[in-house]
């Protein structure tokens, strides 16, 4: 497994593969890898001949009061997991490679980026779209894979790729879960023992809404079992993230974000 830092080195490796007629998949991550990321690598190995995983904790998608400083980091562990999973290259750019001095251009997505996370984390998707666009431009993959755990992020990336006519296929991969239903997330490491016990209730609540329970009642039930706040728990159009119209014949999605102490959990399920 090749470990690369610079865009030049990355392009040399990928150029060699492309020249040999091989297809390339990119799995963008922020590290602290868990079984959900490894499932993305597995899907990428099926989708393309060569798999590159990027590890970059993107500062522009965190607000000043968010958890950038304490975001979990485990480069040695990540590299061991990726070697075991069969990735061909890992790209770990320094911040200066992605945001060099004088960097002054941002993508500001609207549409699917505006509701839900967009209301509670107003600059988040601009940071995500900008960095993903840069990662795609540097790696020029045939396919890029993202987890459905961050369902709105996936919708925003699909929208950006369509709107900017980027030559890449975006593939979503179903959420990996613990046995009790909790969606795998690097941020689960923040949960205390008691919070970890309560956390799977979020998945139960959105499943109940998918089966017809009122979102307001489900949100109230989360507060009763120990969640400290529910940012949103709503049914939305699965592509545009606009309010869901059950008569539209279009797929819907239940999406939620809720706090357990200082930890914010998100999850979603299909209607
Ligand atoms: O989902 C993530 O880990 C990040 O938002 C991503 C897509 C790697 C962009 O920084």
Give the pLDDT confidence score for residue 82 in this predicted structure: 98
pTM above 0.85, yes or no: yes
At 63 the pLDDT is 95
- Ligand 1 pocket residue status of 138, Cβ below 6 Å: no
**Residue tagged 């961050």 (tokens):** 150
The neighbouring-strand residues paired with 142 are none
Q: Does ligand 1 have an atom closer than 6 angstroms to the CB of 4?
A: no
Per DSSP, the three-state class of 46 is helix
User: In CATH, what number is assigned to the domain containing residue 213?
Assistant: 3.30.1300.10
Look up the domain containing 192 and give its range: 186-270
Q: Which of 40, 150, 154, 187 should be mutated for ligand 1, with most atoms under 8 A from CB?
A: 150
Single residue among 173, 207, 230 that ends a domain in this structure: 173
Please give the pLDDT value at position 91. Answer: 98
Q: Which of 9, 34, 37, 88 is catalytic?
A: 37
Q: What is the pLDDT of residue 128?
A: 98
CA dihedral (224, 228, 73, 26) in degrees, to 10, reads 70
Q: How far is the CA of 129 from the centre of ligand 1 (A)?
A: 9
Q: Quick check: is 47 in a domain?
A: yes
CA separation (Å) from 37 to 43, 53, 151, 175? 10, 10, 15, 10
Same domain? For 100 and 150 the reply is: yes
Take residue 191 and report the two structure tokens written for it. 């949960």
Consecutive 10-residue averages of pLDDT for the chain (271 residues): 98 98 98 97 98 98 94 96 98 98 98 98 97 98 98 98 98 98 95 98 98 98 98 98 96 98 97 95
29 Cβ inside 6 Å of ligand 1? yes
Regarding the beta carbon of 150 and ligand 1, being less than 6 Å apart is answered: yes
Please confirm, yes or no, whether 37 is among the known catalytic residues.
Answer: yes
Q: How far apart are CA 47 and CA 143, in angstroms?
A: 7
> What is d(CA 187, CA 191) in angstroms, rounded to the nearest whole number?
8
Position 181 in a domain: no
Of 109, 141, 173, the one marking the end of a domain is 173
Domain tally, the chain: 2
30, 41, 59, 184, best to mutate for ligand 1 pocket (most atoms within 8 Å of CB): 30
243 vs 1, 115, 233, 248, CA distance in Å? 44, 9, 12, 11
Ligand 1 nearest atom to the CA of residue 61, by list position = 10
Helix H or strand E encompassing 265: strand 263-270
CA of 260 to the centre of ligand 1 (A): 22
pLDDT, residue 174, reads 98
Question: What per-residue confidence (pLDDT) applies to 196?
Answer: 98
């Amino acid at each position: 497994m090749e470990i690369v830092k610079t865009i030049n080195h990355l392009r040399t490796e990928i150029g060699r593969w492309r020249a040999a007629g091989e297809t390339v998949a990119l799995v963008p991550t922020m590290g602290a890898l868990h079984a959900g990321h490894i499932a993305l690598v597995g899907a990428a190995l099926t989708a393309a001949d060569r798999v590159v995983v990027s590890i970059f904790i993107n500062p522009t998608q965190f607000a000043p009061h968010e958890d950038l400083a304490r975001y979990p980091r485990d480069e040695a562990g990540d590299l061991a997991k990726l070697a075991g999973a069969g990735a061909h290259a890992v790209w770990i750019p320094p911040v200066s490679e992605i945001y060099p001095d004088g960097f002054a251009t941002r993508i500001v997505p609207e549409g699917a980026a505006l509701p839900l996370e967009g209301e509670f984390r107003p600059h988040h998707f601009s940071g995500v779209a900008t960095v993903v666009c840069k990662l795609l431009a540097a790696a020029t993959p045939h396919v890029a894979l993202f987890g459905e755990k961050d369902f709105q992020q996936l919708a925003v990336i699909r929208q950006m790729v369509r709107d900017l006519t980027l030559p890449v296929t975006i593939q979503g991969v179903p959420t990996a879960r613990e046995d009790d239903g909790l969606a795998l997330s690097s941020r689960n490491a923040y949960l205390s023992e008691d919070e970890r016990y309560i956390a799977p209730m979020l998945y139960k609540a959105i499943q109940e809404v998918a089966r017809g329970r009122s979102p307001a009642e489900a949100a109230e039930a989360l507060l009763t079992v120990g969640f400290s706040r529910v940012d949103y728990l709503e049914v939305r159009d699965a592509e545009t993230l606009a309010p869901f119209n059950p008569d539209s014949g279009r797929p819907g999605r239940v999406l939620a974000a809720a706090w357990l102490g200082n930890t914010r959990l998100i999850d979603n399920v299909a209607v």
